[in-house]
Amino acid sequence: MLPPKSDFSEWYHEVIQQAQIMDIRYPVKGLYVWFPFGFKLRNLVYGKLRDIMDREHDEVYFPALIPETELGKEGEHIKGFEDEVYWITHGGLDELDVKLALRPTSETAMYPMFKLWIRSHADLPLRIYQIVNVFRYETKHTRPLIRLREITSFKEAHTAHRSYEEAEENVKMAINAYKEFFDSLAIPYFIIKRPEWDKFPGADYTIAFDTIMPDGKTLQIGTVHNLADNFARTFDLKYETPEGDQAYVYQTCYGISERCVASVISIHGDDTGLILPFRLAPYQTVIIPILYKGKEREVLDLSNEVFNRLKEFGLRAILDDSDERPGAKYYKWELFGVPLRIEIGPKEAESREAVISFRDERVKRKISIEEITEEKITEWADEMHERLRKRALDSMLEKVRFFDKVDEMEEWMGRGVALFYLCQSLECGKSVEEDVKAGVLGEVVEMPEEIGIDKEGKCTVCGKSGKLNAIAKSY
C-alpha cells in the first residue's frame, strides 16, 4: 500500500520504489538504480524528446571526463560549479598529472572542439545534443529523479550562431521544442526568466520551465540559456564572416534531465499509484480475463483475440492470465499506471463484449469487442491526454495566487507559487526573498492563460514600474 498522496514526500518515496521506477537502496547517497519498468518509461519519454530534438539537432557524444584546465577556463562557470564537481585524482595506483572532472554539464568539454569545428559562416548554425550521465556532488537532501549525484539522463543541447539575434531566435525555437515536449507529457508549466543572481553560470540570461509539485514546491524541469559570446570569448570561438572578417560566435544551450519523469510521476499519480499518459506508458493496455470454472476457454479465447488485435495495432499490451485474483491484478496494474484496462468475463465472452476503464477515471463501461478499433484507441488516448492535461492544470492553478503585499506572501510559501510585481533592482528582489523566505523564480514570460494577470504592474516593494514575477519554495 502507498501512503496517501497528500503526504507527498512519503508517497513519492514509496511510489518510486513500489511502482519499480528506481531502486533507492543502492549503497551510495544520491545514486539510484533504474528498474526495468522505470527504464522503459524513461526510454519512452526520452524517445519523444529525441524525436523533437532530431528535427533541428544532430546527436553526438562527448567524453564524460573534462580536464581541470578546460573546466576552469570560464571564471563564472567554474565558480558556479566548483562546490559540486567530482574530481578524479588517480588512475589505478598513479596520481594523474591533470585532475579530471566528471562532467557536471558539457560546455567545457564541447567548446574546445567547437573551436576546431567552426571555421566559416557556412558552418553555422551548429546545433548538437547528447543524452548522457552528468554528476553533481549534492550535499543537500537527495531524491530519486529530482536531486541526484548521477543524473543518468541529461539531454543537453549546444548551439553556435552568427549573431546575438540568431541566438535569440534559437532560444525561441528551443522554448517551442520544450513546450511541445512537456505538452506531450500533459505537464503544465510556467516559462520564467531567472533573475540575474540565479542564472546559469556564464550565461547572458536563463529561461526556465517550472512546474508545481503536489506539495506546492516548484520543480525546474527545463532550462534554456542564451550564452551570448561569453564562452566564445573564453574558448576563442571565431568564424569568418561572409565579408571575410573574424567574429565571435553567439551560443545557446538548453537542458532537460530525468526531472521530466519525476514530474509525470508526481503530477499525474494518485493514491493508488502512477497514472501514465497513454503514449508514454510502458504498458498501455492490460487485459484481465475473469475466470470462472467451466467457462475459462471462452474467456481466454476472447481475451487472446483482443490481445492480438491490440498487438497488431502496435500497442504495448499485456494479457494478465496469471493465477492471482482479479482484485490483486487491478491493484498491481493501477500501481503501474496502465492507462486502459479491459476486463473480459464469461458474460462478456458470450456477448462479445468487454468492460473497459481508464486509469484516471476508474469508471467501468461495457463496449462491444468490435468497437475496439485503431481509430477508437487513438480517440481514447487523445481524450485521456486531454483529461490529464486539464486535471494537472487545475491542480496547478489552485497553487498559484497573486499578491499585492509582500507580508502576505510568506504564509503561502510551501503551498504554491506567489505572483507579484517586481522591478529590476537587485535590492527589491533580495528584500522580497528575505521577507518571504523563498527564492524569486524570476519574471513570468509565459503562463497558462487561465491565470489572466497582466504581465506589467507596479513593483510590490518600491512602487516603480515592474514585471510579473514568481516566488516559491523549490526543489
**Alpha helix ranges (H) inside 157-275:** 164-184, 230-235, 259-268
CB of 43: closest distance to a copy of itself in angstroms? 8
What would the DSSP string read from start to end of 331-348? Answer: HHHHHTT-SEEEEE-HHH
Measured from the CB atom, is 71 or 444 closer to a copy of itself? 71
CB of 263: closest distance to a copy of itself in angstroms? 19
Q: Which helix (H) or strand (E) holds 471?
A: strand 465-472
Please report whether residue 128 would count as binding a copy of itself according to CB under 8 A.
Answer: yes
Q: Which residues pair with 158 in a beta bridge?
A: 128, 253
CB of 336: closest distance to a copy of itself in angstroms? 14
CB of 88: closest distance to a copy of itself in angstroms? 5
Binding string, residues 56-95; x marks residues near a copy of itself by CB under 8 A: --xxxxxxxx-x-xx-----------xxxxxxxxxxxxx-
Measured from the CB atom, is 151 or 423 closer to a copy of itself? 151
Binding string, residues 107-126; x marks residues near a copy of itself by CB under 8 A: --x--xx--xx---------
Using CB under 8 A, pick the residue from 123, 150, 169, 321 that binds a copy of itself: 150
Measured from the CB atom, is 6 or 139 closer to a copy of itself? 139
**Close Cβ partners of 427 (under 8 Å, ≥ 6 residues apart):** none
Say which residue the cell 523533437 belongs to: 52
- Within residues 3-62, the interface with a copy of itself by CB under 8 A covers 23, 25-28, 31-36, 39-40, 42-43, 58-62
Measured from the CB atom, is 69 or 373 closer to a copy of itself? 69
C-alpha cell at position 136: 553533481
Amino acid code (one letter) for 274: L
Measured from the CB atom, is 251 or 303 closer to a copy of itself? 251
CB of 238: closest distance to a copy of itself in angstroms? 17
**What are the strands, taking DSSP E only, across 150-284?**
150-161, 190-193, 205-212, 218-228, 238-240, 246-248, 250-256
Please report whether residue 155 would count as binding a copy of itself according to CB under 8 A.
Answer: no
CB of 33: closest distance to a copy of itself in angstroms? 5
CB atoms within 10 A of CB 259: 23
Measured from the CB atom, is 35 or 331 closer to a copy of itself? 35
Residues 422, 459 contacting (CB under 8 angstroms)? yes
- Within residues 432-461, the interface with a copy of itself by CB under 8 A covers none
Sign, CA torsion 417/422/426/431? negative
Q: Which helix (H) or strand (E) holds 365?
A: strand 365-368
C-alpha cell at position 141: 537532501
Maximum Cα–Cα distance for the chain, whole Å? 86
Tell me which residues touch a copy of itself (CB under 8 A).
23, 25-28, 31-36, 39-40, 42-43, 58-65, 67, 69-70, 82-94, 100, 102, 109, 112-113, 116-117, 128, 132-133, 135, 137, 139, 149-150, 152
